[in-house]
């Protein structure tokens, strides 16, 4: 055994201080989330019931449930995912595997970064002009979902591109040496090893899509619509807009109702994310590198 020198003791103390500092910073980040969840459960828990989840609003939305808003949110998220994920993955594959590194590619990358920073209300105005008026979809699920898809497209592109670039180059070179084409290499080797990273982008998109209000307020979400949509060309209620309405626009709402809507909204996001995370962990466990 070697006796610890003065320098070693100092380094160990410094390391312990840094570790404690990082733990405190992590606790500071987690504590507000726990407080919010605890508050929602305490104040919104009494509102949660079978009737609340599976009945329509009534009495001017001061009573009843949130079933139309719950189903409408599922519609919006599902259609937005069906549009944005294929487009985002395809764009990321082109930028990562095919596109040459020139001024045009740099402009595309800059546009993607700028698109990610555009406020949601601007996306809402774009959705009204492009999908509601120009394409003639009207105020509908399709117009709202396309607006959400455009808004979250940079998240999918960036996450997919980073996961594709994380696949070792040796994998590609081994396939090319065996005579595989570039697309065969991407389809058979690169994409399967990048799926877990792509799901990260999907998780982030689900979280943002579910909670957005401004992009759907003008494009497809209804203030009060106590029946279920039958197609993507119908309007629908949504949990995020319903939460805003019962919190600020409707008098006489029971105190626990807005907290109950918020609790269901967060629970829905956590449930969707949990499924994606579980699937991502399963795929990561099958990686060979």
- 283 has pLDDT over 60: yes
| Length of the chain, in residues | 289
Q: Which pLDDT score, from 0 to 100, does residue 168 have?
A: 86
- 288 has pLDDT over 80: no
Q: CA 215: distance to chain centroid? A: 14
What would the DSSP string read from start to end of 203-272?
HHHHHHHHH--HHHHTTTB-S---S---STTS-B--HHHHHHHHHHT-TT--THHHHHHHHHHHHHHHHH
List own/partner pairs for 41-46 with CB under 8 A and 24 or more apart: 41/263, 43/255, 43/256, 43/259, 44/256, 44/258, 44/259, 44/260, 44/261, 44/262, 44/263, 45/260, 45/263, 46/256, 46/260
Average pLDDT over residues 12-19: 89
Quick: pLDDT tens for 139-157. 999 999 999 999 999 989 9
Is residue 5 situated within a structural domain?
no
CB atoms within 10 A of CB 258: 22
Average pLDDT over residues 132-136: 93
Q: Which pLDDT score, from 0 to 100, does residue 134 have?
A: 93
> What secondary structure, in 3-state letters, does 64-83 show?
ECCHHHHHHHHHHHHHHHHH
Is residue 229 situated within a structural domain?
yes
Is residue 192 situated within a structural domain?
yes
Q: Which pLDDT score, from 0 to 100, does residue 282 have?
A: 77
Is residue 11 situated within a structural domain?
no
Average pLDDT over residues 180-187: 87
Is residue 36 situated within a structural domain?
no
Mean pLDDT of the chain: 88
At 3, the pLDDT band (50, 70, 90 cuts) reads low
DSSP 129: I
At 73, the pLDDT band (50, 70, 90 cuts) reads very high
Average pLDDT over residues 155-169: 89
Beta strand residue intervals within 49-200, DSSP E = 57-58, 63-64
Domain residues for the domain of 178 are 50-285
Quick: pLDDT tens for 198-243. 888 888 888 888 888 889 998 988 888 888 888 899 999 999 999 9
Average pLDDT over residues 167-195: 86
CB atoms within 10 A of CB 183: 11
Separation between Cα atoms, residue 217 and residue 137, nearest integer Å: 15
Q: How many domains, the chain?
A: 1
Is residue 37 situated within a structural domain?
no
Q: Which pLDDT score, from 0 to 100, does residue 202 have?
A: 85
Is residue 45 situated within a structural domain?
no
Q: Both tokens of residue 232?
A: 């993507």
Is residue 92 situated within a structural domain?
yes
- 100 has pLDDT over 60: yes
CATH number, domain of 75, equals: 1.10.3720.10
């Amino acid at each position: 055994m070697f006796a610890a020198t003065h320098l070693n003791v100092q380094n160990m103390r410094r390391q312990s201080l840094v570790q404690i500092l990082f733990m405190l910073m992590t606790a500071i980040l987690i504590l507000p989330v726990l407080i919010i969840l605890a508050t929602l459960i305490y104040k919104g828990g009494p509102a949660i019931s079978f009737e609340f989840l599976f009945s329509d609003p009534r009495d001017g939305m001061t009573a009843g449930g949130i079933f139309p808003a719950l189903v409408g949110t599922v519609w919006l998220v599902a259609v937005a995912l069906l549009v944005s994920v294929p487009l985002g993955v395809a764009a990321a594959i082109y930028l990562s595997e095919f596109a040459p590194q020139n001024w045009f590619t740099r402009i595309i990358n800059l546009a993607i970064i700028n698109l990610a920073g555009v406020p949601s209300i601007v996306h809402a105005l774009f959705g009204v002009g492009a999908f509601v008026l120009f394409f003639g979809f009207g105020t509908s699920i399709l117009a709202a979902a396309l607006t959400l898809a455009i808004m979250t497209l940079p998240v999918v592109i960036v996450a997919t591109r980073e996961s594709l670039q994380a696949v070792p180059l040796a994998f590609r070179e081994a396939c090319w040496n065996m005579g595989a084409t570039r697309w065969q290499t991407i389809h058979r080797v690169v994409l399967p090893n990048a799926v877990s990273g792509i799901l990260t982008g999907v998780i982030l998109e689900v979280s943002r899509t579910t909670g957005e209000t401004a992009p759907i307020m003008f494009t497809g979400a209804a203030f009060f619509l106590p029946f279920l949509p039958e197609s993507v060309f119908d309007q629908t209620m949504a949990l995020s807009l319903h939460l805003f309405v019962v919190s600020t626009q409707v008098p006489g709402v029971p105190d626990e109702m807005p907290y109950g809507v918020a609790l269901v909204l967060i629970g829905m996001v956590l449930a969707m994310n949990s499924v994606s995370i579980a699937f991502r962990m399963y795929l990561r466990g099958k990686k060979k590198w």
